[in-house]
Amino acid sequence: MAQTIQGIRGMNDVLPQESPRWQYFEQVCRDWLAAYGYQNIRMPIVESTHLFVRGVGEHTDIVEKEMYAFEDSLNGEKLTLRPEGTAGCVRACIEHGLLYNQTQRLWYIGPMFRHERPQKGRLRQFNQLGVEAFGFATPDLDAELIIMLADLWQRLGLTGLTLELNSLGNADERAAHRAELIKYLEGFVNVLDEDGKRRLYTNPLRVLDTKNPALQEMANLAPKLEDYLGEESKAHFAGVKALLDDAGIAYRLNPRLVRGLDYYNRTVFEWVTTELGAQGTVAAGGRYDALVEQLGGKPCPAVGFAMGIERLMLLLEAQQVATPAQSPDVYVISQGEAAARAAFTAARQLRANGLNVIYHAGGGSFKSQFKKADQSGAALAVIVGEGELAAGTVNIKVLTGAQQGEQHTVAQDQMVNTIRSLK
């Protein structure tokens, strides 16, 4: 026997038994996104490496150590499997002139790639659903996105998710705060861990994001960005909070919420759960008003979020949210070569009438075929034996529900009507 080949660590298969939950999620999301007027955009999985270095930021975890970057051996191009969707979405919008004197409300779904240590809720290939809104500078869009997610949790039947909120202000405000923060952190250089030392001058806000218990007091007492916000940034943040209050959405102001990507300004937020251990953030986003210009477009305000679908799947499972079964309407059974041909034709006729039908292939005893029919979850079985074939009839058996076990023998041309009345 040939040696088997394994999948790549951290890159999972979604098997048929798990896919109903994914399809339930996708179905709910499609209706939800339509309800808010968001349009679908589909970008390639591979982009120029440069896009992410410039878009996500040179001194982020993603660019420093998580990217699947490679050189195309056929033409030497420097390429990267996308670690997130925003940069590619902005690239596509600029390239196709979608931001020229117009607003856009967009969404996408698909795999992202980050070379992280695989664990529960953390994979190397994972899926995100991302939403990006372009051309809106006002706080109503920040609030719309946050409230949309609260609505989604409700539509999905999820509970217990909480909202963390912060404002990062504008670039000047961050620069003033940063200078003070670096001065402050320099006093702790001896206690900072490797990551902390490395980030002190490149990304000092991230130093405050430390999970190290010994550094909590240092982080808590550090200069707060909040105290550096100007009037406009404060007013914008107040506008977001007012709309959240109107919608009855509770939030926790978290001055240490900074997000791992460089492009954010003003509003940042995370929807988190305590039910998934350390990987508790299921959706995260914020405003990124400078990114479009940074990637070569005309200045264009923007706000967006991404949610991790695997983490949502774990949460749906943990909260035992029932997902609709995907059982066929009819399972078609037969015995004998001539009857099998008639059954094959009957299955086609049922499908042409809008029914979901499994045709039993491969023969076998009636007993084993009925077992398969039951396993399929079909509501009805259509049975064509030699007797039925000779009489020009089919036998219809109810497999589930209150009428379970009931049987009807009807003329061939009454099959569809009878099934409709039993369904």
Rule CB under 6 A: which residues touch ligand ATP?
84, 114, 116, 121-123, 126, 128, 260, 279, 281-284, 306-308, 310-311
Residues in the chain: 423
Shortest Å distance, C-beta 45 to ligand ATP: 15
Kindly tell me which of 114 and 408 has the beta carbon lying closer to ligand ATP. Answer: 114
Shortest Å distance, C-beta 314 to ligand ATP: 10
Three-state SS for 321-356 is CCCCCCCCCEEEEECCHHHHHHHHHHHHHHHHCCCC
Q: How far apart are the first and last CA of the chain?
A: 48
Kindly tell me which of 271 and 359 has the beta carbon lying closer to ligand ATP. Answer: 271
Kindly tell me which of 136 and 271 has the beta carbon lying closer to ligand ATP. Answer: 271
Count CA within 13 A, CB hemisphere, residue 319.
Answer: 20
Kindly tell me which of 56 and 378 has the beta carbon lying closer to ligand ATP. Answer: 56
Kindly tell me which of 87 and 419 has the beta carbon lying closer to ligand ATP. Answer: 87
Measured from the Cβ of residue 90, the count of other Cβ atoms closer than 10 Å reads 28
Distances (CA, A) of 281 to 95, 151, 184, 218: 32, 17, 29, 24
Kindly tell me which of 239 and 260 has the beta carbon lying closer to ligand ATP. Answer: 260
Place of tokens 């200069």: 223
Shortest Å distance, C-beta 114 to ligand ATP: 5
**Angle 415-422/337-352 helices, nearest 10 degrees?**
60
Shortest Å distance, C-beta 260 to ligand ATP: 4
Closest residue (Cβ) to ligand ATP?
308
Shortest Å distance, C-beta 216 to ligand ATP: 17
Measured from the Cβ of residue 387, the count of other Cβ atoms closer than 10 Å reads 14
Shortest Å distance, C-beta 84 to ligand ATP: 5
Handedness of CA 363, 368, 374, 375 (dihedral sign): negative
